[in-house]
Amino acid sequence: MSNPTAAMIVIGDEILSGRTRDSNMHHLAGQLTEAGIDLEEVRMIGDKRGTIIAAVQAMSAAYDYVFTSGGIGPTHDDITADCIAAAFGVPIDVRDDARAVLAEHYAKSGTELNAARLRMARIPDGAELIDNPVSAAPGFKLKNVHVMAGVPSVFTAMVASVLPTLTGGAPLISKTLRIERGEGDIAGPLGELAEAFPLLSMGSYPFQKDGKYGAHIVIRGNDTDQIDRALSQLEAAFS
């Protein structure tokens, strides 16, 4: 059976403007690969209500798991939670369990749980909370969509909370062969090999260093034996 599929929506004007560099996709991709879940699509979108709603609806219908990052903080432009509620047609309001988490957290530091911070306790009806051991404000899961913070340390902690709840498949295995030939020489044999091993993914990544050039051929799949056979055949073709 094939692995479960996943998609990610990275939300934030600051990402699209180049002001902030996204690292969450890289982290999530690695974690899902180890869990045997295939990340098949990533969209980076701005803080626009219609765009967020449309992306959530489309990706929720197309993939087994969807993950979002960004837009669940205390400021006026943090609109992700409202958009998720709208995407699934459910109400959203401050929820007692989320409020309790925030109240305990801010009480420890003597900080007021004001109206702005209380926005982070607004959770769509029917959603399950996602634990946030870093800054307390929870994420949530509604249907197959996991809604998480954009701050990398918090996102990473939330992913760790979510992973044990997911059903994975066979972890993706990756092996690399360095070939000191131009891609024009490599392309033919590599294409034939790809046809012979349709269950494997093959990519060519050129390099040029210290007067040498060529490509690293990366072969990925779930079957170690197939990967090893493919690598052996490729190596023999260029020996």
Four-residue CA torsion sign, 178, 30, 22, 42: positive
134: which DSSP letter?
Answer: T
Q: Does residue 160 share a domain with residue 179?
A: no
22 and 134 in one domain?
yes
* CA separation for the pair 222, 200 (Å, rounded): 8
Q: What angle do CA 155, 160, 162 make, to 5 degrees?
A: 90
pLDDT for res 211: 86
User: Which residue among 135, 165, 195 closes a domain?
Assistant: 165
Whole-number pLDDT of residue 171? 87
Return the percent helix, strand and coil in the chain, to nearest 5: 45, 25, 30
Same domain, residue pair 79 and 123: yes
Q: Are residues 232 and 144 in the same domain?
A: no
Q: Are residues 117 and 194 in the same domain?
A: no
Distance of CA 178 to the CA centre of its chain: 29
Co-location of 181 and 158 in the same domain: no
What pLDDT does 170 receive?
Answer: 87
The two three-digit tokens of residue 16, written as one number: 């699209």
**Are 200 and 228 in contact, with CB atoms under 8 Å apart?**
no
- Domain termination residue (choose one: 165, 183, 207): 165
Give CA separation, 178 vs 83, 105, 152, 216, 217, in Å: 47, 52, 33, 4, 6
Q: What does the pLDDT profile of the chain (239 residues) look like in tens digits?
A: 689 999 999 999 999 999 999 999 999 999 999 999 999 999 999 999 999 999 999 999 999 999 999 999 999 999 999 999 999 999 999 999 999 999 999 999 899 999 999 999 999 999 999 999 999 999 999 999 999 999 999 999 999 999 999 999 988 899 999 999 999 999 999 999 999 999 999 999 999 988 889 999 999 998 999 999 999 999 999 87
Q: At what angle do helices 80-88 and 49-62 cross, to 10 degrees?
A: 50
Task: List the domain range (segments joined by +) for residue 89.
Answer: 5-165
Residue 165 burial by Cβ neighbours in a 10 Å radius (0-12, 13-18, 19+)? exposed
Q: Tell me what pLDDT residue 233 has.
A: 95
> What pLDDT sits at residue 4?
96
Same domain, 27 and 127: yes
Number of domains forming the structure of the chain = 2
